[in-house]
Amino acid sequence: MTMAARNFFAWKLLMAAETQDSRNQLRQKRRACRSSFNPLWDISEVEFRNRYRLSKEAFLFLCEELKHLTTLKKTLQISLQEKVLVALFFYATGSYQRPIGVAKSLCQKMCSVYIQEVTQALNHPAMLEKYISFPKTLADRQAVSHKFFTKYGLPGVIGCIDGSHFKIFGPPSAEEHLYYCRKHYHSINVQMVCDSDCRIINVNAKFGGQNHDAFIWENSNVNTYMQHLHNRGEIFWLLGDSGYPQRPWLMIPFLEVHPGSPEANYNQKHMRARVLIENTFGRLKNRWRCLCKDRVLHYKPEKCAQIIQACCVLHNIALDYRVAEPHNYDFNVPPQPIEHLRETRISNELIRGRAYRDQLVRKLQNSQ
């Protein structure tokens, strides 16, 4: 090897060592920056809720749940709590680059990695089973039904159902048509069921925005389960708008009623109770702004669905801890007008569903 070659090789080794030293110093600086800022101690409870949308108590509980129920772990570079904070800030703002708090000492690539890790942890079967749970026992269903009846005067109700579009980035052309909705953007049409406390008890984020609410319902597990309960002799139902088919286990409003009639009385009670699902969607999107109409999820549809489900878990945890709603949402705004779907398929289920609805109307009329 010539002298020039030896000198060049030595220079390359020196540059590599200096580059590695610079990287190590940058890592140490970022680690020191993170350790010097602890949101649990360095900011107030109000500011913590504004940034991360959970109370400090709820946040600590969430970290413990993720630690014990999922595979989310800390590393030498970052703690589990810091990973969760990075993800919560993304869910709360929808921002991919805005640096604040813990995330300001992390590169965008690592923030994306931690958001993905926490999202997968929140979608762990143990978390979904615990925090998004349809009433499983007869006693559970009776308790939910009793709360609906106490609040709204409707017997037999165990949930309100509806669909809402969540904007996503346009998928590859081969499947783009499945996600282009009637509102002229790409979306996932997410079906949810809530109880009388706006708690999400079922979520289906598998279908693109091209699919109608009624189609998603007909192909959903919750429809199958409600049919199973009905066939077993349990008289419970969900409340849906006129975009759904009338069934013995799914009550929708009458399309045309006369003022003061029993049907009008039924429709009024139905509307007062069913608005709960509208409020649930509003509260979910308002707390977790990555889902709101002004944001677009820049991920593949499958990952967007995971983010939506993760936010549903967080929504229910926030309810458990009575975390106050953000101030920029008005729950007194009346629901948007229902888009009616013409009932064209006359079937035995539809006929029986109308019969059950008529019985419910008479029962409400006799109770007055």
Q: Which amino acid is at 28?
A: Q
Both 214 and 103 in one domain: the answer is: no
Nearest CA among 65, 64, 45 for reference residue 55: 45
Alpha helices in 153-261 (DSSP H): 213-218, 221-231
The Cα–Cα gap between 238 and 103 comes to 42
The Cα–Cα gap between 132 and 191 comes to 13
The Cα–Cα gap between 326 and 309 comes to 20
Both 313 and 240 in one domain: the answer is: yes
| pTM of the shown model | 0.83
Calculate ∠ Cα 272-194-309, nearest 5°: 145
The Cα–Cα gap between 237 and 160 comes to 9
The Cα–Cα gap between 289 and 300 comes to 18
The predicted-structure confidence for 183-225, as pLDDT tens digits, reads as follows 999 999 999 999 999 999 999 999 999 999 999 999 999 999 9
- Please provide the distance, in angstroms rounded to a whole number, between the alpha carbons at the two ends of the chain: 103
The predicted-structure confidence for 86-114, as pLDDT tens digits, reads as follows 999 999 998 765 544 455 567 788 889 99
Answer yes or no: are the C-beta atoms of 248 and 356 closer than 8 Å: yes
Please provide the average confidence, as pLDDT, over all residues in the chain: 86
**187-194 and 157-167 as β-strands: parallel, antiparallel, unpaired?**
antiparallel
Both 119 and 242 in one domain: the answer is: no
The Cα–Cα gap between 215 and 209 comes to 11
Both 256 and 355 in one domain: the answer is: yes
Instruction: Report the helix count and the strand count for the chain, using DSSP H and E.
Output: 13, 5
Residue 346 belongs to domain spanning: 135-367
Give a yes or no: residue 8 inside a domain: no
Domain boundary (127, 149, 167) is at 127
